[in-house]
Structure 1
Amino acid sequence: MARRIKRRNGLTKQDKTAPKFPDLVKRDFTAAAPNLKWVGDMTEIPTECGQKLYLATVIDLYSRRLLGAAMGLHPDAELACAAITMAVAARGGRQAIWRDEESERVIFHTDRGSTYTAKAFTTLCRTVGIRQSMGRVGSCFDNAAAEAFFSSLEWEVLSRNQFRDTFHAQAVVIDWCYTFYNHQRRHSAADGLSPVNYEIRESKTKPEAA
């Protein structure tokens, strides 16, 4: 029987009174080094019990490595903050990604949803030294790299599983994210290697980014 792709519902709800951030990526989903450009988004994961689980992501465009994968019952700023906190920790903490020059700080690109314009989230980004970037309203192509991750998740995980509850969903999805996606899944953007293997190879052939 053919697998059915579970299309996610749009989670983007714009707060028109919130601060606006320019598009610093402009559909260039490449990066010459780690911690130059990150992208992220949220998706919902249905379960048989009727309760939905939400996943917030942070992906480094350098290797397509998933740095943050926070899961919770609400697609809110708290979940987005958790994903960024995980990403910063994965890269060695604030001191490892901080740049004195604001123009050189890591870019985090998302949609214009209220989740990413909430005060708690924008404050966290400023505190850890992240510049926010946002695509246009209603344009999935402006955040295509983040959308591509969810397409892979939908095809390789969600369409092949029926989750009993949120605990079951979280166990399966997190295992795929950190065990398979980061360490085993090959990416054309990572020279045909997994994100982790690509970073390991490149760290041996290039000087470490300042």
Structure 2
Amino acid sequence: MRRAADLPRVTPTGGRVAYKRVQRLMRALGLVSVHPKARKATTVQAAEPSRLPDLVSQDFTADAPNRLWFGDITYVRTWDGWAYVASVIDAFSRKVVDWAVADHMRTDLVLDALRMAITRRHPPKDVIFHADRGSQYTSKEFVDFCKINNVRNSVGRTGICFDNAAAESFWATLKKEFIHLHPFDTVERLRTGVFEYIEVYYNRFRIHSTIGYLTPVEFEDEFDKKGDRAA
């Protein structure tokens, strides 16, 4: 494998190049992609069809924090076996409100992520939480927890990836920028790494085009300042 410093410098021309040409040139240079295709399913449909509504209809926007949250589960291979990460993301600022890591993807995983998000943010009554129709998010335990905590359940349609596209987009970013660049020997090491990526970098330093090229923390701070001025 050649190092980046050993590769010839190439000036972009803006021309169109077929992907097979890129593959051939990468092979010639000894390069491989660090963005492998997904190989493990994390959405397991419930045995009984869910009657939960879709309150989002692919509109992952909000006019204030804590109006709409969305989340999902993804998987990460460690030397100890598969690990799973659950997220809760605010649609207004794209801030990862909270998350959880475990060596299983039972309902407890998504409950832990949502429970910590509620504890951290104290959302107003009837905040929407949107997810896919996986058995974790449609389980009686999860639905009952949301009802007790005044969270409105929302789920996308079966087999329509666009219905939870914003959550999928975050997983793609996490894996491209962090997971696929680092090996993890244990679930605990993964948990530490995810904490550093989300809490230290993603929420505070990574800019987002959808929020005016600000970071999630900056975007929410600007919103709070406007509220103070209006008051």
Give the TM-score normalised by structure 1.
Answer: 0.89
Query: CA contact under 8 A between 2:136 and 2:142: conserved in structure 1?
Result: yes
1:75 pairs with 2:96 = no
Distance, in Å, in 1 between the alignment partners of 2:182 and 2:115 is 29
Aligned position for 1:55: 85
Deviation at 1:181, TM superposition (A): 0.7
Instruction: For structure 1, list consecutive stretches of 5 or more residues without a partner in the other structure.
Output: 100-104
One-letter amino acid matched to 2:148: T
Distance, in Å, in 2 between the alignment partners of 1:59 and 1:202 is 17
State how many pairs are aligned: 198
Query: CA contact under 8 A between 2:79 and 2:185: conserved in structure 1?
Result: yes
Question: Radius of gyration: which is bigger?
Answer: 2
1:44 pairs with 2:65 = no
1:5 pairs with 2:35 = yes
One-letter amino acid matched to 2:137: Y
Distance, in Å, in 2 between the alignment partners of 1:123 and 1:31 is 25
Root-mean-square deviation (Å): 1.6
Query: CA contact under 8 A between 2:66 and 2:124: conserved in structure 1?
Result: no
One-letter amino acid matched to 1:59: I
Aligned position for 1:14: 45
Deviation at 1:18, TM superposition (A): 5.3
Query: CA contact under 8 A between 1:98 and 1:128: conserved in structure 2?
Result: no
Match of 1:125 among 146, 152, 156: 146
Instruction: For structure 2, list consecutive stretches of 5 or more residues without a partner in the other structure.
Output: 1-30
Question: SS state of the match for residue 224, structure 2?
Answer: helix
Q: Which has the higher contact order (CA 8 A, sep 6+)?
A: 1
Report sequence identity in percent.
37
CA offset digits 1:172-203 (Å, max 9, x no partner): 12210111111111111222111011101111
Give the TM-score normalised by structure 2.
Answer: 0.81
1:137 pairs with 2:142 = no
Detail structure 1 runs of 4+ shifted over 4 Å in the superposition: none
Aligned position for 2:21: none
Structure 1 residues 144-155: aligned runs within 5 Å? 144-155=165-176
Query: CA contact under 8 A between 1:183 and 1:196: conserved in structure 2?
Result: yes
Deviation at 1:10, TM superposition (A): 1.7
